Structures are given as C-alpha cells and as structure tokens.
C-alpha cells in the first residue's frame, strides 16, 4: 500500500532522486549528500510534506539505496520509495507507475532542488487545479545569452526577453503526464518537454530563487548559506522572486 500524507490532498509528488551527482564531484549519490548535516532528499521531502495539498510522495531512489532511503525518510514523512532508472525520465516513469488511484494532479520535483519552499509547491498545484494541463515554475534569464559554434565562436546574441530558466516542481493533470510518458521517446531533461511533444500547452508561473538545483559544488555552498541566513522557505520566498 502507498503511504499517504494528507488524505484530503489532491496532489501526488514524484521525486526523482536516483542521480549520481557527477557534476557535484565524487561521493554518495547526490540526493544522499549532506546539506547542513542532512541529506538533500530529507530537506526536499520535508518541504513537500509541509505543502497542505500533498496526498502522496513517491521517491525514485538509487537502485542500491532503496532500503536505506526508506529508512532515512521514515521519520520525515510517509513516502513510497521505488528503484530509479538509468536517466531522470526513467526514474520519473518508475515513480509515476507507483502512484495510487486518487490524486488527479501530479507534480514532478527534483530532490536536487532541496530548498524549494512549500509555497511554490502549492502555487504550481493551484495553477493545475485552476485548469492548466501542465505548469512550470520559471525565472527570467539574467545574463546576456550568446549562441556559439563547436569552437566557441559567437554566432549571435539571443533575445533573452523571450527566455525562461525552468525549475521544478512541474505540475500536470495526471492523465496528461501519463500519456506523455507512455508516448516518450529519447530521454528529455524535463517532463514538460514530453508534454510539449504531445502538443499540450504548458503554462508558466513565477519560480523561486530558493528552488535552485544543487548541481555543482558552488550551489551546495550557496544552499548552506541560504539555510544559515534565514532558514529558507519563509512565506516571502516566492514573492521575492517574481518578475
């Protein structure tokens, strides 16, 4: 049986957490590396469990660590843990297959975005509840962006006003995400990409700086400082990052 959080919630969250974390450098799988003394996955799941709409959480863990992740998360929140796949898309598909009947909104959320505030989780879910088939949190691109060739010669300057940096959680009507994964081909880097290929419109909502993806060592250092500075996930952390 799948563990439940809020029985009145209408949201299932899939947490791909099976990545190695190659860009973070040598060590344990990234979701199990420590941030302020606790694994990234614990930080991420704690924030998901604090979102009132969340009914079910399914974590896709590194294959060798499924039992360890179950033990790790047992005191944090009721979650289901399944073995992840060879790439992110396969891990999401494995978690999706384990969602019980009930929740009609499904969010996909990287364990690596460990400081994502509950308010962002709720705002993505609310946008799906309000009628969108697919919703992604985004931030504006702040750097000038150049297109280059294979020898790093600049081909041109891209109009950044039409660009967005995409975060998770990404939210979907359940049937839309299921159809997108059923029809998936080569792995893409996010779930909205699969949905776009089905011709389904994807809506943007404002993201949060705190939903940064901990990818490289600098990101981990930044996350440590953010936690130390204000405890993160305050009510204002979404509003502070609006366009």
Ligand X SMILES: C[C@](O)(CO)[C@H](O)COP(=O)(O)O
Q: Which is nearer to ligand X, 3 or 188 (CB)?
A: 188
Which of 43, 47, 88, 181 is in the footprint of ligand X by CB under 6 A? 88
Query: 208 CB contacts (<8 Å, ≥6 apart)?
Result: 116, 117, 119, 120, 137, 167, 237, 238, 240, 241
Q: Where are the beta strands (DSSP E) in the chain?
A: 11-16, 34-35, 38-39, 54-61, 80-83, 105-108, 134-140, 145-148, 154-158, 164-166, 170-173, 203-206
Q: Which is nearer to ligand CTP, 126 or 138 (CB)?
A: 138
Pick the piece of the chain touching ligand X (CB under 6 A) from 2-10, 75-83, 94-102, 161-169.
Answer: 161-169
Which of 4, 12, 19, 76 is in the footprint of ligand CTP by CB under 6 A? 19
Q: Quick check: 14 binds ligand CTP (CB under 6 A)? A: no
C-alpha closest to that of 16 among 96, 103, 72: 96
Identify residues 110-169 at the interface with ligand CTP (CB under 6 A).
110-112
Q: Quick check: 197 binds ligand X (CB under 6 A)? A: no
Q: Are 13 and 93 a contacting pair, CB within 8 Å?
A: no
C-alpha closest to that of 114 among 8, 200, 206, 36: 36
Q: How far apart are CA 27 and CA 32, in angstroms?
A: 9
Q: Which is nearer to ligand X, 4 or 89 (CB)?
A: 89
Pick the piece of the chain touching ligand CTP (CB under 6 A) from 3-11, 48-56, 81-89, 170-178.
Answer: 81-89
Which of 120, 190, 227, 233 is in the footprint of ligand X by CB under 6 A? 190
DSSP state of 53: T
Pick the piece of the chain touching ligand CTP (CB under 6 A) from 50-58, 105-113, 130-138, 146-154.
Answer: 105-113
C-alpha neighbours within 13 Å on the C-beta side of residue 102? 21
Size of the site for ligand X (CB under 6 A): 8
Both tokens of residue 166? Answer: 């995409």
Binding partner of residue 16 among ligand X, ligand CTP, none, CB under 5 to 8 Å per kind?
ligand CTP
Q: Quick check: 215 binds ligand CTP (CB under 6 A)? A: yes
Q: Which is nearer to ligand CTP, 126 or 165 (CB)?
A: 165
Q: Which is nearer to ligand CTP, 146 or 216 (CB)?
A: 216
Both tokens of residue 100? Answer: 């019980």
Chain residues in the site for ligand X (CB under 6 A): 88, 110, 166-168, 189-190, 213
């Amino acid at each position: 049986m799948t563990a439940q959080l809020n029985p009145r919630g209408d949201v299932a969250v899939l947490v791909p957490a099976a990545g190695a974390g190659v860009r973070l450098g040598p060590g344990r799988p990234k979701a199990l590396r420590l941030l302020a003394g606790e694994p990234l996955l614990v930080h991420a799941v704690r924030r998901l469990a604090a979102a009132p709409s969340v009914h079910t959480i399914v974590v896709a863990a590194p294959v060798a660590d499924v039992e360890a992740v179950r033990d790790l998360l047992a005191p944090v929140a009721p979650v289901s843990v399944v073995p992840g796949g060879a790439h992110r898309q396969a891990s999401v598909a494995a978690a999706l297959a384990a969602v019980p009947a009930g929740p009609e909104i499904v969010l996909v959320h990287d364990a690596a975005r460990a400081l994502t505030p509950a308010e962002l989780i709720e705002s993505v879910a609310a946008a799906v509840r309000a009628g969108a088939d697919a919703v992604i949190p985004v931030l504006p691109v702040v750097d000038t962006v150049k297109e280059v060739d294979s020898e790093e010669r600049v081909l041109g300057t891209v109009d950044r006003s039409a660009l967005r940096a995409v975060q998770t959680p990404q939210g979907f009507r359940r049937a839309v995400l299921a159809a997108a994964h059923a029809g998936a081909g080569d792995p893409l880097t996010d779930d909205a990409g699969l949905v776009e290929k089905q011709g389904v419109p994807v809506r943007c909502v404002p993201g949060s700086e705190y939903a940064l993806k901990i990818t490289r060592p600098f990101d981990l250092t930044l996350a440590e400082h953010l936690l130390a500075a204000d405890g993160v996930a305050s009510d204002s952390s979404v509003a502070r990052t609006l366009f």
